[in-house]
């Protein structure tokens, strides 16, 4: 699991230790975030955007409000099917993947079923949500 702090209240969590069933995803997300609540100091109302891929969960926590939730945690969970990309400076890590985008500095490949070959190399890049790269990349 990798936790990335975006700002004081927003996080991205990459949970690629196990596969989560779509039948129990809402309950599993709640359990996972309750475990992380103290460590990340989560309190308030959060929008939770979840992408469930073969290699694991990609979770984006967006803090909405804490006025009514002083010491509690409330979650609005949304399942999202947008693409997740792996961002790296090394083209040769991802050259065998089907869809590759790039900008001036980085290469991006879609996290799909063929991504298993790259899984042992994730320390050489980051996972990026599709909306974060839409307007600044081109397909090669």
Alpha carbon distance 44, 74 (integer Å):
6
Per residue of the chain (140 residues), give pLDDT as tens: 889 898 988 999 988 766 678 788 899 899 999 999 999 989 889 999 999 887 888 999 999 987 776 778 889 999 988 888 889 999 988 888 778 888 888 999 888 766 766 667 778 888 888 888 876 667 76
In this predicted structure, what is the pLDDT of residue 120? Answer: 73
In this predicted structure, what is the pLDDT of residue 57? Answer: 86
In this predicted structure, what is the pLDDT of residue 33? Answer: 92
Backbone angles phi, psi at 55, to 5 degrees: -85, -5
Domain spans of the chain?
Answer: 2-79, 84-139
* Count of H-run helices and E-run strands, the chain: 2, 10
In this predicted structure, what is the pLDDT of residue 110? Answer: 86
Give the number of other Cβ atoms within 10 Å of residue 71's Cβ: 7
Alpha carbon distance 64, 10 (integer Å):
9
In this predicted structure, what is the pLDDT of residue 106? Answer: 92
In this predicted structure, what is the pLDDT of residue 113? Answer: 66
Strand 73-79 to strand 44-53: parallel, antiparallel, or no bridges (unpaired)? parallel
């Amino acid at each position: 699991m990798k936790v990335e702090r975006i700002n004081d209240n927003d996080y991205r969590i990459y949970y690629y230790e196990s596969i989560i069933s779509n039948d129990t995803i809402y309950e599993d997300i709640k359990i996972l975030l309750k475990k992380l609540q103290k460590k990340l100091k989560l309190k308030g109302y959060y929008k939770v955007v979840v992408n469930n891929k073969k290699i694991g969960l990609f979770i984006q926590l967006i803090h909405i409000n804490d006025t009514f939730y002083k010491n509690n945690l409330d979650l609005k969970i949304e399942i999202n099917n947008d693409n997740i990309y792996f961002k790296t400076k090394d083209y040769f890590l991802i050259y065998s993947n089907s869809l590759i985008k790039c900008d001036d500095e980085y290469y991006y490949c879609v996290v799909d079923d063929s991504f298993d070959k790259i899984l042992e190399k994730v320390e050489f890049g980051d996972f990026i949500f599709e909306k974060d790269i839409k307007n600044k990349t081109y397909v090669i």
